[in-house]
Amino acid sequence: MPMRKLYRGGDPRRAQNIVELRAMAAARIPNFCFEYLDGGADDEVTLRQNRASFDAVTFQPRTLVDVSERDLGCELFGSRIAMPAIIAPTGFNGLLSHEGDLMLAEAARDAGIPMCQSMVSTVSLERIVESGVRHWMQIYPFKDRENLAGVVKRAEVAGSEAIVLTTDVAAFGNREWDRRNYRAPMKLNVDNLVDVATRWRWLFDVLIPHGMPRFRNLGDFLPPGQDSARNAATFLSSQMDPSLNWDDVAWLRELWPRKLLVKGILRPDDALRAKQLGVDGLVVTNHGGRQLDTCVAPIEVLPEIREAVGPEMTLVIDSGLRRGSDFVKARALGADAAMSGRATLYGLAAAGRPGVARALEILRSEMDRTLALLGCPEMTRIGPDSVRFPPR
């Protein structure tokens, strides 16, 4: 009888990797929450391809190199980070654990890395900034530009380092497995209601006594009293602006005085246009496989985009990272750092803040071990000669 079984209990210290934290998360939170966290669009081809593309990158290590001391640190916008990682912007995190966004921020702060907060998070951006984390604020292209400018101004006053404009939501991706959990918009079917009633740890963390999480950064957009996750979802979907174009990027560049990143770039020509408009950085992403299915994986096009924009522009990659070695591969192929959404969210869903801390600890130790085995004592020395990447 096979003895290989993933741990599914509640102690994050027992998790050996991100996959095990995922199993723990599935055991703790309701099915509808886990499906929202874990699923992808349509047939989930992009979701699988994101992982397969990282697996296709292989290492070519050096030997007989002194790696007794190793440094994972690198620079991002002129300031040092402890490892080339950023917590990616993700919404509705209050459904995974009470004030989950604050837990992500505190764990990122303690790990010496930035956090990019989602506009549809359930903790105010001011509270996240007050945590002391290096703070980036993600925004969606809502039709109401006046109130959108208000969120940007709030981020400026609070002290956010960067604004990250998400550009790949002209329409919401078709996440069929997520939709199957509901009998009507935001109304769970019977099977899921029964499942919720059995998740005692989650119930007494999220719903009792706090109630349904609320969108703390969207008050000006929403009708009075409609800021709960249950009531606001349909309204927010109607606010997404499919007319978003490069003129809006120029408008935001003029409005925002600090670092500006455009998230959703997958083409070298788009990357060049962003650079010409004065954008400071790009996030090369396919939205984690949650939007367009059968889409190119970011790691596949990262070298082309780096070649197009040159060494001076900051490039961040996300989508599909599950191992510390993935972050090293991203650095080797041209990224300054990599964002991870699901990896840290699995930790959050599994065990709250200790789970996030464990996820970051796992990724850090895997990066460190990868450097040692590559014969590379410093993260900043990683380059294309450390990897082999099959041609497209």
The model's pLDDT over 373-382, given as tens digits with 9 standing for 90+, comes to 999 999 999 9
Write the pLDDT tens digit of every residue in 296-310.
Answer: 999 999 999 999 999
Give the number of residues written for the chain: 392
The residue among 123, 34, 105 whose CA lies nearest residue 350 is 34
- Supply the pLDDT for residue 323: 98
Mark the ranges of the chain whose per-residue pLDDT is less than 50.
none
Question: What are the C-alpha distances in Å from 73 to residues 28, 218, 376, 380?
Answer: 34, 35, 13, 8
Task: Return the exposure string of 239-258: e unless at least 16 CB atoms fall within 10 Å of the residue's CB, then b.
Answer: bbbeebeeebbeebbeebee
**HSE of 127 in the Cβ direction (CA atoms, 13 Å)?**
12
The residue among 391, 384, 181, 164 whose CA lies nearest residue 287 is 164
Q: What topology is assigned to 12-175+237-379 in CATH? A: TIM Barrel (3.20.20)
pTM across the whole model: 0.95
- Supply the pLDDT for residue 209: 86
Q: How far apart are CA 188 and CA 17, in angstroms?
A: 32
- Supply the pLDDT for residue 212: 86
Q: Where are the domains of the chain?
A: 12-175+237-379
Token pair 């065990």: residue: 351
- Supply the pLDDT for residue 239: 81
- Supply the pLDDT for residue 296: 97
Terminal CA-CA length for the chain: 41
- Supply the pLDDT for residue 176: 94
**HSE of 363 in the Cβ direction (CA atoms, 13 Å)?**
33
Residues noted as catalytic: 287
